[in-house]
Amino acid sequence: MTQSSTPAASAREKARKPRAHNAPPGIDIHARAPQPAKNSEVVYRDLRRAIIAMELAPGTPIVEKEITDKYRISRTPVREAVLKLAEDRLVDVVPKSGTFVARIPLTILREALVARRALEEVTVRAATARASESQIMHLRAIIQRQQEMADTGDEKAFHRADEDFHAEIAAVGRFPGIWDMIQQIRIQIERYRRLTLPQKGRMQLVVNEHKAVLEAIAGRDADQAASRMHDHLNKLQLDIAVFRDLWPEYFIYDPALDDDLLMD
Amino acid sequence: MTQSSTPAASAREKARKPRAHNAPPGIDIHARAPQPAKNSEVVYRDLRRAIIAMELAPGTPIVEKEITDKYRISRTPVREAVLKLAEDRLVDVVPKSGTFVARIPLTILREALVARRALEEVTVRAATARASESQIMHLRAIIQRQQEMADTGDEKAFHRADEDFHAEIAAVGRFPGIWDMIQQIRIQIERYRRLTLPQKGRMQLVVNEHKAVLEAIAGRDADQAASRMHDHLNKLQLDIAVFRDLWPEYFIYDPALDDDLLMD
DNA sequence: TCCAAATAACTAGTATACAAGATATATTTG
DNA sequence: CAAATATATCTTGTATACTAGTTATTTGGA
């Protein structure tokens, strides 16, 4: 098998001419976890989780020294993780001064909500077009699980089910790349969401909205599915102005775009 | 002024307690270029430009040593640049083996086209809703410039004007963050576009489509503007399958999603 | 001549030392 | 005692040495 020249391999050989290096292993970009997790990746994930969970408040300094001591590693992988977080706009690096958990930019928040809405409308339309019966049953099962979590009041599991629902719609629509984009956008939104207090009955409302979306999918009505998804995702942006006044130090606020925050 | 307790400062003081570092300078994230450009940034931009321009073909090894010699800098900033490129999916890093210019994943390409369409429909709708007369005149001027470039056949300047047109629409719609997302997506699409041979009359077609979009904006018809933008952006994806056969070594191809490439 | 195993030459990942600048504290001076 | 200045101590940015794993080459055997 090592030297068999299958038609699939012939094309690859052309690129391999100068060096075998030219042909990196045919690993799918989305599935390369066989390697032992790199240290920088571990630090990155831990920090990201803590920042998104608002355990590290905006403005908190990120001191590389503390992290190197905690994980018993050198600055190099720590720095790598910090740079990734900077790419995600979760930290601000001030040269020769310090690194800080980023404040939440209100204008970006507004745009993130709009962009997510647009992309999820795409995925739900595609899902409506191609959902099989089994996939619809799977979505029903997810909603049922979310209903049970809402009944027992398990917020964490509830949000896991919430994410699963949206992820499954993207998967059914066959848009894994767009789902990645949505997740990237969700990172920005998530910190804001964590500031919202658990409102009584909100979980049941979310479940009902999910049910409405699924009904439209099952009825093969793409327009209705998109519309209901739109309404569902709109619920988040109700009171940006309120939180800006409650935690002013958590946000960055650009007065030039004030009016934008109030419009749809 | 150092210790005056204005109401605005009181909130900030809370975060400043442990160290003054807690309050990073109130710089807008989008405007921090006073610093001398970091070496890693220079390397990143140069490599990204070369990759996007297809000067570095997919599969080409990126050798850090060559770059450190060329720029007379150490591996650290080079490595930083390479990691950024990996984030952008422009290179694949194979641990302990090598770094290579990434092959273009056809499935990602399809999703990128869909996502860009969705986001540009958002920006053009917003632009239609709030464009001032002067902004419409500005857009007309951009199209006129693009027309002149099409007439003289200056491809590079033509594409600059093309980008300006889309950028200005996003700016008019007040979605700078969404424009950033679109640009990120464009990176993926751009390499593919570079493979398309200049077709006779294509530039004039693009100009005409831009004119159609602008007319809809000027007529305050958001639905029509979005529809025309949709059609305009659809022109790109005509012949993915053709290029896959022409340069098979430039692409990664997932047979599980074959049929997806053919649908809208 | 061909194939296989040992070896050499590469790669990215990591650790550490140092440099340059910003901030905090201590000191001096009026 | 207050304010300005000088010093010390932080921070991130960079350079370099080293480690571990991968790939290419050489060498030995049949």
CA distances from A240 to A60, A263, B50 (A): 22, 11, 42
B28 touching A (Cβ < 8 Å) = yes
B156 touching A (Cβ < 8 Å) = no
Spatial CA neighbour of A91 closest among A59, A120, A125, A133: A59
Cα–Cα distance between B229 and B216 in angstroms, integer? 10
Contacts of A84 in chain B (CB under 8 A): 83, 87
Partner-chain residue, chosen from A25, A29, A59, that has the shortest CB–CB distance to B22: A59
Q: What is the per-residue pLDDT for B248?
A: 77
Q: What is the per-residue pLDDT for A250?
A: 86
* pLDDT band, very low/low/confident/very high, at B4 (cuts 50, 70, 90): very low
CA distances from B230 to B59, B158, B235 (A): 33, 20, 9
CB contact residues (below 8 A), chain A span 87-106, against chain B: 87, 89, 92, 94-95, 97-98, 100, 102, 105
Contact A68, A74 (CB under 8 A): yes
Supply A90's token pair.
């979760």
Sheet containing A61-62, strands listed edge to edge, beginning at the edge strand earlier in sequence: A61-62, A98-101, A91-94
Spatial CA neighbour of A58 closest among A99, A25, A21, A96: A99
Q: What is the pTM of this model?
A: 0.85
Contacts of A23 in chain B (CB under 8 A): 59
Q: pLDDT tens digits, residue range B57-108?
A: 999 999 999 999 999 999 999 999 999 999 999 999 999 899 999 998 888 8
Q: At what angle do helices B155-172 and B176-195 cross, to 10 degrees?
A: 160
How confident is the prediction for chain B on average, in pLDDT? 83
Q: What is the per-residue pLDDT for B201?
A: 84
**Tens digit of pLDDT at every position of chain A (264 positions):** 333 333 333 333 333 323 344 444 443 333 333 456 678 999 999 999 999 999 999 999 999 999 999 999 999 999 999 999 999 999 999 998 999 999 988 888 889 999 999 999 999 999 999 999 999 999 999 999 999 999 999 999 999 999 999 999 999 999 999 999 999 999 999 998 888 767 778 899 999 999 999 999 999 999 999 999 999 998 876 566 777 777 888 888 765 555 555 454
**Residues 56-95 of A near strand D (Cβ < 7 Å)?**
62-65, 75-76, 79, 82, 93-95
Q: What is the per-residue pLDDT for B12?
A: 33
* pLDDT band, very low/low/confident/very high, at B117 (cuts 50, 70, 90): very high
Q: What is the per-residue pLDDT for A260?
A: 52
Q: pLDDT tens digits, residue range A205-255?
A: 999 999 999 999 999 999 999 999 999 998 876 566 777 777 888 888 765
